Amino acid sequence: MDPKSSRKCKVVWSKRFECDHAGAYHDTRKPELSPSKQCNRGESIRCGCKASIYASQPVGKETVTVRFNWEHNRHDPASLDDLQTSRNPEEVCAWLDTCVNQGFNQKAIKALLRMTPKQLSQITLDAEHLPFSIKISPMDIYNTIHRKVDADTRLAPGLAESIDEWVKRLQDTEALTIRNAFPELVVHILYCYWHLWQAWDKHLKEKLQFKHIRHKENRAESVKDVCDALVALLQSKTPEDFDRQWIGMQKEWADQPKWLKYMTEGWILKKERWARAWRKHAHYGIDTNNFIESWHSNLKKNYIGRGQLEPDYFSAHVRSGLGFKGRNLCKAEVEAKKRAHALSFREASSCMVLEDSLLYIESFTQDNKYYEITLEDSKIMSCNCPSHVQSHLTCKHMFLAIRVTNYAIHLPHAIIPAHRLLETDEGESLVNKRTRKRRLVVKAHEILSALDSADYWVWADNDDLLDGILEESLAKLVSAVDGLRHIARDTMLVRPDNAKQW
């Protein structure tokens, strides 16, 4: 009995297999759109082929009924043209899935599919058999990897919910990692302004709807007005100003419910992480993660596998603090220095008053307003202007003081976390770490032993097999082994007698 239709079932189970050329193609493109806006599609492979196999088990019987139509019509499955347009067989797709699940990347799968020149020379237009490796395209490999990545990274059924779960998880992990590395510091998680505007620009086009505005120029002007309102919201100086600006935006753009919902649910709830009103602590003017990406690039190019990262960075900070090395100026400091040097020496001297350990410098924008610069041991320590207080960057008043006086700007040493000693309650975790390390050493030894004892090296004397290997491939092998040698040098438990060769 079928529970959906309450009808008696005639079969226990059934399965139908059809040719991928079965059925007819239906064009779902909107005819009212211009050809330039319609999707360009190639000719469909669906030609109404009737080839099929239908298998079923009737109710009350232990036999299986098979009905089939073996003849393909309107196309020849053995032709080269049909092979070019047909999909990959299920066996090929299953093989690609197996390779990806085993950890092979696109480069490794291409290496598995690569044929020798002798094998390629045997493939001709009149060949009776063709290997499917010649048909598998890089896009087939990419799609297989993409499907696995999509399945492995989904934390929720919906894409939006999954992204929210990832953001929560990464933020918690990031904050915990930073707190463990810098236990004495207060952790502030701030959003990168570059990525912030990337997200806003993308959703501006998706969420804003101007049905009553037809001209492109007027639409662009409306989008610009929304961007200006977002800039004002972002640059609000106090939480009260932020709330007033947001209330005004809700009233002004009440006819854009999708945009307001996106801002409310996605950004207003996390306003402390991106709005200037809550970014009052000293963050050295770093509002993007460009510095982090630059640091990662330097890390990957110069330090991975060499183990000299912390000494080099520590040395750079100490040299800068002692005055042996100048500190690099950021964009805001370069602009501040330019404004300070735009004044003549007479103008700079006239707007400065020295009293004991304080230096008063007149504001660049407001008359009869002076900012205090604190001096200590003939060094400029700080300025009470908003720019320096909020960012701890060298402001234009401090650059102006350098021009007129003999004082230098104080450069404090960078905060480097001290190596923490092992506490008594961490003894068990240390045992676990040692166990994991020993397991990794044994695994590395097994892999190297298997590679060393393989018959691969013996067959190098065979001229025919050697001719089938590209010289570039052997060069890559030597490069990989050399890289392994550098890594092994940093992980040696006991230095061998010929350590100089390493």
Q: What integer pLDDT is reported at residue 423 of this predicted model?
A: 44
H or E element, residue 490? helix 471-490
pLDDT for 474 beyond 50: yes
Same-domain status, 244 and 302: no
Q: Which of 409, 426, 454 is the last residue of a domain?
A: 409
Q: If you average pLDDT over residues 286-297, what whole number do you get?
A: 79
Same-domain status, 487 and 441: yes
Same-domain status, 148 and 107: yes
Same-domain status, 237 and 328: no
Same-domain status, 298 and 393: yes
pLDDT for 350 beyond 70: yes
Residue 173 in any domain: the answer is: no
Rounded Cα distance, 216 and 482, in Å: 59
Which amino acid is residue 141, in one-letter code?
I
Q: pLDDT of 237-273, one tens digit each?
A: 889 999 999 999 999 888 888 889 889 988 898 888 8
H or E element, residue 101? helix 90-101
Q: Which residue from 458, 451, 446 is spatially nearest to 480, judged by alpha carbons?
A: 451
Same-domain status, 313 and 370: yes
Same-domain status, 334 and 232: no
Q: pLDDT of 144-186, one tens digit each?
A: 998 888 888 888 887 777 777 776 676 666 666 766 766 666 6
Q: What integer pLDDT is reported at residue 89 of this predicted model?
A: 83
Q: Which of 278, 309, 337 is the last residue of a domain?
A: 278
Q: pLDDT of 304-342, one tens digit each?
A: 655 555 666 666 666 665 656 666 777 788 888 898 888
Residue 146 in any domain: the answer is: yes
Higher-confidence residue: 466 or 39?
A: 466
Residue 478 in any domain: the answer is: yes
Rounded Cα distance, 459 and 447, in Å: 20
Q: What integer pLDDT is reported at residue 103 of this predicted model?
A: 85
Q: Which domain holds residue 266?
A: 188-278
Rounded Cα distance, 177 and 174, in Å: 5
Helices 138-153 and 106-113: crossing angle in degrees, nearest 10, is 140
Cβ pair 343, 352 in contact under 8 A = no
Count of residues making up the chain: 502
Q: If you average pLDDT over residues 447-469, what whole number do you get?
A: 70
Residue 220 in any domain: the answer is: yes
Higher-confidence residue: 3 or 389?
A: 389
Q: pLDDT of 98-153, one tens digit each?
A: 999 888 888 888 888 888 888 888 877 777 777 878 888 888 999 999 888 888 88
Residue 398 in any domain: the answer is: yes
Same-domain status, 439 and 479: yes
Q: What integer pLDDT is reported at residue 419 of this predicted model?
A: 45
- Measure Cα distances from 227 to 204, 217, 232, 273 in Å: 9, 15, 9, 19
Quote the number of domains for the chain. 4
Cβ pair 234, 274 in contact under 8 A = yes
**CB burial string 99-137: b at 16+ within 10 A, e below:** bbeeebeeeebeeebeeeeeeeeeeeeeeeeeeeeeebe
Cβ pair 123, 134 in contact under 8 A = yes
Q: What is the mean pLDDT of the chain?
A: 78
Residue 43 in any domain: the answer is: no
Same-domain status, 274 and 300: no
Q: If you average pLDDT over residues 488-492, what whole number do you get?
A: 61
Q: Which of 153, 168, 196 is the last residue of a domain?
A: 153
Cβ pair 259, 207 in contact under 8 A = yes
Residue 36 in any domain: the answer is: no
Same-domain status, 438 and 489: yes
Same-domain status, 459 and 369: no
H or E element, residue 69? strand 65-69
Same-domain status, 304 and 395: yes
Residue 137 in any domain: the answer is: yes
